[in-house]
A and B are shown apart, each in its own frame.
Chain A
């Protein structure tokens, strides 16, 4: 039913890439300011401020304002799905926690002023391991204990610490039916977001109105949080986030916004700017570090019977967004046709800096551990890893347990997968990698050359990224008298061309040229809303869906106006190419009698759309769910003398549903895949407890992938589009694509290392040092 599209399905560079290439594009750091802020940070991982004296700092020439916990409102600043916090707090919960802040006429004066602040600390015992921190006798970072999850607040009040629990089927029955059971444990380090643009914010007050310029994924969260903490209506807070120099889950509302706004207020409203140093940036936010226990059972014929998962994730001192995530560990298991599963996700505060989601939340770590055990089960059954996965993976049309977001639910409805060609993806990767030729059996290298051994691995997973929380977002569109369209978007463009993609959707849907569509975003004064912002790959899917709903309403308004003129009922009127005509007539006749908009309307026509209030995970169609599927394969060479892992060749196959802008889609997969290789191999996080210092606070010590690090990468994109109207469910069947590529790195590298060495990595990142340790250990799983 190949429908012809005019605008979607075409690779078109985003409009703003031109000004990004010329340097004309103004990021927040490029805007003027009056004052600069520096923050005094805690030298201790856990301490209480006993005394603080800022009088000398206040007297320094050029200093305009100094704040400590004594100066902040006695109100907890709310954040989206995260612990509320005071702007400054005498209880310090990690090295680098905010102690005081100074605004001065230059950065160097502000830095000098920090050295004049005298602080007496009471040092408290600290805890860094999330499993240790979950124990009742661990140092308490919060009075009620360290295990966190908003839905457990009633339990906390009773003094009960509990994990987030997600389960379906009967886990005990599942294991009793198994012929083969494998258990293993894993430790996965954090990953630092490490955007090239540091966190940044400029604030100013005019009268009682606050304006904030910040590179932020969720401007509406910033507005809500600041309005609440400063006790002002949201209508008087304007947040602008025109361009973001990389986010990846790192740029949400945080204390620095409120610190900046308070200092600005105290200096008479002057423009006041905070820009993190690289050292601050590298010790500000991270993906969780975690410990995971996995147990998987299968029958002799290879049928999976049960997957059990227990994980401890470190939230750091505060955590941000979905501390109650249940670890998001269910995704890798929900990727298999298994009737019995149980997840215990312990989200636990530690004295590290904040953990928050990073590109596909915690899924890359859980894919690493679940796929590592899936491999071990297949080995025990003496099955080829690809055959074992093919046997157990669902595909389009299969009815699967949807992900249960309510703790302890049983008997939730099941849904049919759409746009999930997993088996085709597996075949594509196998062929491209030359699997059948290269696979020599479990733990057997593809090739050995002296101390160098080559190994090959393939992994698979599924994730529900994209179509979510439509009840927490709004999109609006306005059709001008000339038929051109302005989009007023709640969505936020992270640099992933979501604005261009949105314009393509509108142009296609309205049958007008792309040039006639313009989009306005990144400014809360647009009057739209998005509580969750640019997260969860939902801009195109959820935002695009709401946009098409708004545009459909505009069409409907025009149909009602045009129907009497055309002498037909509104439902017989077709809207396309800035004209209204009769749908039921032969097109040539219809177009002859078509009425141009200019003759129909005397004002612009505006419509907005949001999901049902509170709507969280809407179905794409009755009984249907979108889920993303991906298969990745890699060939590596391990140097058994040094432990170094050289990446020889990587292949990924991904399904985006409908690719609205194919090169943009591919670019998302590529970028995410390389980011996941950094996570797998080089991005090591080191905290020295004796020095009380993060040793990986620079791009030299924390190595993100560089151009020479990455292997030859083949990115296969396989479209599969459901047959339904474009505005019902995800737009034109498109799926979220931003996070998909991020799952594969640790899992696929570990699998290939196993096949090279016959030994399995249980720790990630798999730095040369850790691989060498494994080589020397001599254990064989």
Chain B
């Protein structure tokens, strides 16, 4: 029951600057969900095992439940809310997940889409092996991953065509 100290942290989330007061034990996940209201990023385990809380920090997919908010000063963070365009059009990855029936309960979906985004930013033409490797940290209990692999592949194709 030790008192926790707090500090102001400046972060860039989905292109918006935020100045947030965070406690020393606040995770990035807590700050995104509870302080910024970005609830698209999910809590599944709190231990970095399920990937439901995946966001991008400076382009890298990370489990936001394992990142202390204090360490995010000056970082650029992308969450699921930052993908669709402002007119409501889905991002090609999101569209591919919908079109390929890769979403069932949907709870793991934001995390898997963020892992996909990180993959496709580095590798525009991934093999099935590379796709499975990229989403291996994201547990999906519903789909059996078949349609997720299809969706990532389809999204890559769409993005290559752009």
Contact = CB atoms under 8 A, between A and B. Distances in A.
Chain B associates with chain A: yes
Interface of A: 11, 13-14, 16-18, 20-27, 29-30, 108, 112, 115, 194-198, 243-248, 275, 277-278, 494-497, 663-664, 666-667, 670-675, 698-700, 704-708, 710, 713, 715
Contact of A13 (B80, B101, B110, B137): B101
A198 B44 contact: yes
Given A197-B44, A197-B105, A243-B106, A671 B136 contact: no
Contacts of B149: 707
Q: Chain B binding site: helix, strand, loop or mixed by DSSP?
A: loop
Contacts of A108: 25
Residue of A25, A277, A713 with highest tally of chain B CB at under 10 A: A25
B141 A196 contact: yes
Interface in B79-125: 79-81, 83-84, 90, 94-95, 97-99, 101, 103-110, 113
20 contacts: A22-B80, A22-B90, A23-B41, A27-B42, A108-B25, A197-B42, A197-B52, A197-B107, A245-B106, A245-B107, A247-B105, A275-B43, A496-B104, A496-B142, A671-B104, A673-B144, A698-B47, A707-B132, A707-B145, A707-B148
A195 B50 CA distance: 10
B49 A29 contact: no
B41 to A, nearest CB: 7
Most chain B CB inside 10 Å of its own CB: which residue of A108, A246, A705: A246
Nearest to B113: A21
Interface in B120-142: 131-133, 135-142
B47 A699 contact: yes
Interface string B1-45: 100000000000000000000000100000001000011111111
A196 B52 contact: yes
Contacts of A23: 38-41, 79-81, 110
A245 B139 CA distance: 12
Contacts of A22: 40, 80-81, 83-84, 90, 94
Contact of A248 (B110, B138, B141): B141
A148 B132 CA distance: 45
B98 A21 contact: yes
Nearest to B151: A21
B90 A196 contact: no
A21 B148 CA distance: 12
B146 interface: yes
Interface of B: 1, 25, 33, 38-47, 49-50, 52, 79-81, 83-84, 90, 94-95, 97-99, 101, 103-110, 113, 131-133, 135-149
B43 A245 contact: no
Contacts of B144: 670-675, 705, 710, 713
Nearest to B152: A707
Contact of A20 (B44, B49, B106, B131): B106
A278 B136 contact: no
A663 B151 CA distance: 13
Contacts, number: 171
Contacts of B50: 196, 278, 699
Given A23-B81, A698-B49, A699-B49, A495 B142 contact: yes
Contacts of A707: 131-133, 135-136, 138, 140, 145, 148-149
A700 B51 CA distance: 12
Contact of B46 (A18, A278, A664, A670): A278
A504 B27 CA distance: 43
B134 to A, nearest CB: 8
Contacts of B52: 196-197
Contacts of B133: 707-708
B106 A17 contact: yes
Given A196-B50, A197-B105, 11 more contacts: A17-B98, A21-B103, A30-B33, A197-B44, A495-B104, A495-B107, A666-B101, A674-B145, A707-B133, A707-B148, A713-B146
A275 B140 CA distance: 19
A29 B80 contact: no
Contacts of B81: 22-24
B42 A670 contact: no
A701 B6 CA distance: 34
A277 to B, nearest CB: 7
B143 A29 contact: no
A30 B133 CA distance: 29
A278 B47 contact: yes
Nearest to B109: A20
B143 to A, nearest CB: 5
Contacts of B79: 23
Contacts of B94: 18, 21-22
A674 B141 CA distance: 9
A706 B115 CA distance: 14
Nearest to B112: A707
Contact of A708 (B33, B90, B132): B132
Nearest to B43: A29
Nearest to B144: A674
A1 to B, nearest CB: 29
B109 A708 contact: no
